[in-house]
Structure 1
């Protein structure tokens, strides 16, 4: 059963309207295709896999973003993971908000809160469902890169446009 809203099959890209029960076939031999549904409006943080917490510094956080007409938000939180220093505001909080209109999508990164100096150097925001013709960062036009790899290796901000199982992506 999918509750109210629009739901995206994260692994296949199919879109379902909520308030209904759906039948979904899975491979009962190895269960490698168990579904994960993402509600329209979600912002999902991702990072490179690690074998254990703290194996390596997390330099880049990827944000799979499925904007909706409603403003939706996510608060990125980080601390040292070892001490109780977060009780004295030694943490990092940063609110991220997204929405879409007929004219395009917005993604806003709020001010940092707390005094923790995280290892994160970059956010790669994947705006699914949109192939941008231009992107502005802090009110200035952003540089267009040929692809995600070029963007990941760039100094500073920019954007790339491509497609994935959800359609267009910026």
Structure 2
């Protein structure tokens, strides 16, 4: 934890995968929040395998998005992992998740369930299309959202299909807005 930072007294549980949710956690951690990243058993967050490796063989993406965080492996698909998360959520100020809508509720970890034991808990839900509405069940990957928003149309060349911008702008913008 960083000393003398604005969010030093906050405890955050980060359940997100890939970029959008973890980027939200990264911003909070950069400002001093105590962020515990919950990772699935096995390989952990997919960002541990993405992109170029540094001199130590670790992916650069993980070095960025995992910085200033503690990691804990929990299988949230299993009752034991769910029970441990419920206990952790009692002490947390914020919980970040970026699963498809309904996933947390399916596991008995929705806001209503967690708030019964911690009424002050703030749940940040980072999704491409929100928790309800006509597109809520669709995956909200940055590529899709950037295309639907017109960003991909603006990048590239007139004689070819749109190209990806250099970074996952949709994911990082979603993460910063979540923070």
Above 0.5 in TM-score? Answer: no
TM-score tier (shorter) = under 0.3
* Structure number with higher helix proportion: 2
* Structure number with higher strand proportion: 1
